[in-house]
Structure 1
Amino acid sequence: MKRSKRFAIVAAVAAVAAAVALTGCSSDDGSKDAPASDANATATLNSAADAAAALTGAKVVLDIQGSLQGVNASKVEADVATKPKVAAEGTATLKMGDKSSSAPFVYVDDHMYANIDDKGYIDYGDGRSIYDVSKILDAEKGVPFILRNITGAKEDGSETIDGVETTKITGTVAAKDLSGLTGASPEAKGLESDIPVTVWVTKDGKNNVARVLAEPAEGASMTINLSEWGKTVDAKKPADVKSPSAKPTTAPKSGEPTRQPVG
């Protein structure tokens, strides 16, 4: 065999070996590296997460456009306290069939009491059937957690929100990490993707979160506006809480409640 031919074969073998070595160094599950985050954006998000986790109270306005499985409210506007226990008082706009209903609610002692269609306050347990307000500022599942898990974070200019100048930051977050706010089970199918998210952080040195915008599903968005950071909230259980009756023997018509309050 001629020397030039042997050299070509050796070179080819070396190239194959190098390719195998490179393949072995890559991820076995085929996952791609997460996009790099800007250092300044990451620092701002971490400071904002610390500020949100330390909040004792705030005004929260949650607005949902489109349909999210597991969320029956299209809007929640409430004063939310985090310490010594989570408490909230406000109004939820509920989707009931082809109509909407505005319901005042109070969340105290891990129970949500709501007055839907002026039928009287009923105990809705943990409130998940309406919206679990206890998760919004939760350090393990809510806004602080989301901020710490954003990848590919980039600063995208400044914006004024409700008269407050903010830094706008874009990035993505794993759908399963957003499940605490969307109400979806972290093990549900379809939560393997990354979700676009935008955060606005105040530029007053306090690094408070003014707004979080995510798009958890196609054609659906979730916006959380925070203001009055550190607000004192004094929510109390309604004086007259009615007990729900037994489930009806026949299926209710669209938009009708599944239970009627009784005295």
Structure 2
Amino acid sequence: MKRSKRFAIVAAVAAVAAAVALTGCSSDGNTDAPESDAAATTTLNAAADSAAALTGAAVVLDIEGSLQGVNASKVEADVATKPKVVGEGTATLTMGDKSVSAPFVYVDDHMYANVDDKGYLDYGDGRSIYDVSKILDADKGVPFVLRSIEGAKEDGTENIDGVETTKITGTVPAKDLSGLTGASPEAKGLDSTIPVTVWITKDGENNVARVLAQPAEGASMTITLSDWGKTVTAEKPADVKSPSVKPTTAPKSGEPTRQPVG
């Protein structure tokens, strides 16, 4: 056999061997994510379907620590998803050194909130307080997060507000939790994974009773759902004040730094 032909055969064999080696490495890389228990996966998928089908629920959001995308430390609301997303409740905000309770209404894609008893203002989509429309959103909210959980394991049963539930632990990619945390797509750390625990009712309805995640070091987000399927109605407040603006001249000591428009 001529030298050039032998060289071509050797090169071809080497190429095949390299391809096999690369394929093996790629396969190993795909197994980095921990496997989920079959029972846990079945329960999570059923719960995701139930959450996506919800027409309304009572929601309590609790934030411990500081999350960049969330300005509220607590939100208590009744939220409906169909025919349109509406909500009504109270957000607890930290303003300076005091905690402020702000009643709000979410209707027609706008959040109207009465912060510090100054009258209702239009806060747009509400992200500056908390975007309640995302909680039950099938593509960004609780249903989506349930389908994104990796390494899901059943961890016994617990009673949540008088309801027996199955507890499931796992992790979720940070980017898949950004719809609930309000994190910007450009935020740092979205390539990491986040510990998450969920509690699913054992009554056959597979409703989500609670979701607990740790989106940042020293911070946690807990979403508790109840009154699944409740009817919720909300109307725009009758007297919505105009937003405030900066004064045209520098305020003197003790004068407000914002002035009402109109």
Q: TM-score range by the shorter chain?
A: 0.7 to 0.9
Partner of 1:193: 192
Partner of 2:110: 111
* 28 and 160 in structure 1: CA distance in 2 versus 1, 3 angstrom threshold: closer
Distance (Å, rounded) in 1 between the aligned partners of 2:40 and 2:112? 39
**SS in structure 1 opposite 2:62?**
strand
**SS in structure 1 opposite 2:245?**
coil
| Alpha-carbon offset, residue 74 of structure 1 | 0.4
Contact 1:248 1:259 in 2 (8 A): yes
Partner of 1:146: 145
Identity within the alignment, %: 83
| Alpha-carbon offset, residue 245 of structure 1 | 2.8
Partner of 1:57: 56
Partner of 2:12: none
Partner of 1:246: 245
**SS in structure 1 opposite 2:139?**
coil
1:192-219 C-alpha deviation (Å, 9 max, x unpaired): 1000000000000000000000000000
Task: Tell me whether 37-46 or 17-26 shows the greater mean CA deviation.
Answer: 17-26
1:170-189 C-alpha deviation (Å, 9 max, x unpaired): 00000000000000013322
Contact 1:210 1:227 in 2 (8 A): yes
AA aligned to 1:217 is A
Contact 1:244 1:259 in 2 (8 A): no
The alignment's TM-score, normalised by the length of structure 1, stands at: 0.87
AA aligned to 2:79 is V
| Alpha-carbon offset, residue 25 of structure 1 | 2.1
Partner of 2:219: 220
Q: How does 1:60-209 map to 2 (within 5 A)?
A: 60-209=59-208
Distance (Å, rounded) in 1 between the aligned partners of 2:256 and 2:181? 23
The number of residue pairs the alignment matches comes to 245
The Cα RMSD (Å) is 2.5
Distance (Å, rounded) in 1 between the aligned partners of 2:94 and 2:249? 21
Task: Tell me whether 209-218 or 180-189 shows the greater mean CA deviation.
Answer: 180-189
Task: Tell me whether 185-194 or 231-240 shows the greater mean CA deviation.
Answer: 185-194
Contact 2:245 2:260 in 1 (8 A): no
Distance (Å, rounded) in 2 between the aligned partners of 1:242 and 1:232? 28
AA aligned to 1:189 is K
| Alpha-carbon offset, residue 257 of structure 1 | 8.7
Distance (Å, rounded) in 1 between the aligned partners of 2:26 and 2:210? 35
**SS in structure 2 opposite 1:112?**
strand
Distance (Å, rounded) in 1 between the aligned partners of 2:179 and 2:59? 16
| Alpha-carbon offset, residue 99 of structure 1 | 2.1
AA aligned to 2:109 is D
1:150-178 C-alpha deviation (Å, 9 max, x unpaired): 00000000000010000000000000000
Distance (Å, rounded) in 1 between the aligned partners of 2:208 and 2:86? 20
Contact 2:245 2:261 in 1 (8 A): no
The alignment's TM-score, normalised by the length of structure 2, stands at: 0.87
Contact 1:200 1:211 in 2 (8 A): yes
| Alpha-carbon offset, residue 70 of structure 1 | 1.8
Distance (Å, rounded) in 1 between the aligned partners of 2:31 and 2:250? 48
Q: Could you list the runs of 5+ residues in structure 2 that have no partner in the other structure?
A: 1-15
**SS in structure 1 opposite 2:52?**
helix
Partner of 2:235: 236
Contact 2:152 2:170 in 1 (8 A): yes
Distance (Å, rounded) in 2 between the aligned partners of 1:114 and 1:250? 28
* 165 and 140 in structure 1: CA distance in 2 versus 1, 3 angstrom threshold: same
